[in-house]
Amino acid sequence: MNVSRAVLTMLRDYGVTDVFGLPGETTLPFYREWESFEGVAYHMCRDERNGVFMADGYARATGKVGVCEGPSVGATHMAPGVTEAYKGCVPLIVMTSDVPLCYERRNMLTSFDQTALFAGITKESLTAHAPCEVPHLLRRAFRLAATGRPGPVHLRLPSDVLEGDVDDGEVWSQPRFGNFPSIPFRPGDDDIAAAAERLLAAERPLVICGQGALHSGAWQEVRALAEALGVPVGTTISGKGIFPETHPLSLGVIGARGGRCWSNAFVTEADVILFVGSSTDSAGTAGWTLPPRRTKQTLIQIDAGEGELGNNYDALPLYGDAALTLEALVARLPGGQAPERGAWLRAVAEGRRRQEERLEAHLEKSCDIDALAVIRALERQAPRGTFFAVDPGLSAVYSAAFLRLKEPGRRMAYNFAMGALGYAIPAAIGARFGVDASRPVVALVGDGSFGFAAGELETAARLGAKVLFVVFDNRTFGWIRGTEFALRKEPLKASFGRFTDFRPVDYVKVAEGFGIEAFRVERREEIDGVFARCLKAQGPCLVALPVEVQDRFLPPVPGWAECASALGMESLY
């Protein structure tokens, strides 16, 4: 069998239905076979980095290994997306074609050491030196990507290898590794018993869920543990969606990106904290202050990555899959009524009530469009099951803090492992091909990020991807302005704008030029109607909304809230 056909056959056997990529001369042997091959759709993008982000969004939305490909000349463009997936534990198969390796040291056009590029940002970088190696390497790539701490694996396929032949008997797959976690495991009984004992003895217990809980699909197990113990549940920004945020035990998001004063306070006041699939990174812990590194609180940590257990805190390590470990924990608890935690849970309810009163007061005193009004309109209009892909910055913090998800599941994609701009547009397109057609997909796009990925609007239009792109337009790299303002604690001079500001952009005309229906909303009372119309559309739509620059109304970030208070500014933190 031809190697290119063998790769496609194996992808199909792994359950791969969609691949995202961009053409190049070194990949032409692959495309010749693909042209007549059915069962694996090819989605051409306009930039190799965005092809990786599309596969990333697809994987986060589905629980399946994402697949992307690019030519040798575009391999360097893929690095930002691959780095995000590596740091964010997103399993991808990243295929790159190449010139024949015999020309690698002869200065052939597009040739460079791909292995050196990808070795530090993947679980492994694999190179096929001969056709007979390809099936074995592809099987290895899927096993590595989907087991343990998931992540991307690079497979380098020279063009002469793609044109070669391989024995049909070698073309077989291991389909269980097409999904993740592929081989879940749990800690031993002694560790489970120790964790259960500590949780039962706690007076003020707290559960904090990260993205690993979502990867595990552990939303039922998280809820079962929370209700069995009567314990509040918070999530990191990357874990948002694991627990319904309208549940009485929900604290919503905690930490530096999406946490609020009232929810973060519970991290400080808890006596026992159970981390579930959280890497305890700087964003989720507000720079390791929630909790502090030398805390006297009792900490327990569930994680399937051995490198994360006890990495930042001295916690009881529960090495295993989140869902299986939580299931074992619940089974270890005595049956009957949850322990008495009345005062602790009343504090949760009171904190939530006061927060909502503050938000309603803010919305009532102004009729202008702001990020909170946009997020609450989306909450009203977007039906259950809507999937959101979100850029870093304003759109991320406001959606994390104030978009209340009513049901659990894989609902949100944030790229807060690295936080590079330009994520939401391609990730939403990728997710669109992974979620059921009845579920809307919404991209929350910063105008700074828009400039990184605007070309993919053509991809959305060409592929008929039903995505609502919501653009937050404040004409600047606002997060940089907000950070500098919080550091200086005084208004920025006009001269600072040369580092951050852009000229006005007509996003409606840009979108329409790509064949996308688009709207600009200038009044708050129009937002709901436009969102409702776009969510019912049969193709992609774009809505641009003017919002305030971050240094004029600081987003709800812990350190920034202190600055706002010192200067007498309002803060929603």
The predicted-structure confidence for 326-349, as pLDDT tens digits, reads as follows 999 999 998 777 788 889 999 999
Write out the H or E segment, with its range, that includes residue 550: none
Q: Is residue 508 part of a domain?
A: yes
CATH of the domain at 71: 3.40.50.970
Asked if residue 33 belongs to a domain, the reply is yes
Same domain, 396 and 283: no
Do 381 and 451 lie in a common domain? yes
Domain that holds residue 210: 189-346
- Residues 199, 173, single domain; the answer is no
CATH for 203: 3.40.50.1220
Q: What are the pLDDT digits (tens) for 215-252? A: 999 999 999 999 999 999 999 999 999 999 999 999 99
How much is the pTM?
0.96
Does residue 254 lie in a domain region? yes
Q: Are residue 321 and residue 377 in the same domain, yes or no?
A: no
Asked whether residue 360 is domain-assigned, the answer is: no
Tell me how many domains the chain contains. 3
Predicted confidence at residue 108, as pLDDT, reads 87
Percentage with pLDDT > 90 across the chain: 91
CA atoms of 41 and 43, how far apart (whole Å): 6
Neighbours of 113 (CB within 10 A): 10
Q: What are 342's two structure tokens?
A: 């009345």
139: DSSP letter: H
User: Which residues in the chain land under pLDDT 50?
Assistant: none
Tokens of 133: 């190696």
> What is the predicted pLDDT for the residue at 143?
98
**Structural domain includes residue 571:** no
Same domain, 383 and 257: no
494 burial level (CB within 10 Å; 0-12, 13-18, 19+): exposed
**331 alpha-carbon distance from chain centroid:** 31
Residues sharing a CB contact under 8 Å with residue 357, sequence separation 6 or more, in sequence order? none
DSSP string covering 432-479: HTTS-TTS-EEEEEEHHHHHHHTTHHHHHHHHT--EEEEEEE-SB-HH
Is there a domain that residue 126 lies in? yes
Q: Is residue 291 part of a domain?
A: yes
The set of residues, in sequence order, having a beta carbon less than 8 Å from that of 325 and lying 6+ positions away, is 186, 187, 192, 302, 318
Residue-by-residue DSSP string for 255-308: SSSS--HHHHHHHHH-SEEEEES----TTTTTTTBTTBTT--SEEEEEES-TTT
**Do residues 315 and 450 both lie within one domain?**
no
Residue 256 φ then ψ, to 5°: -90, -15
**Model confidence pLDDT, tens digit, residues 526-543:** 999 999 999 999 999 999
Identify the pLDDT of residue 340: 83
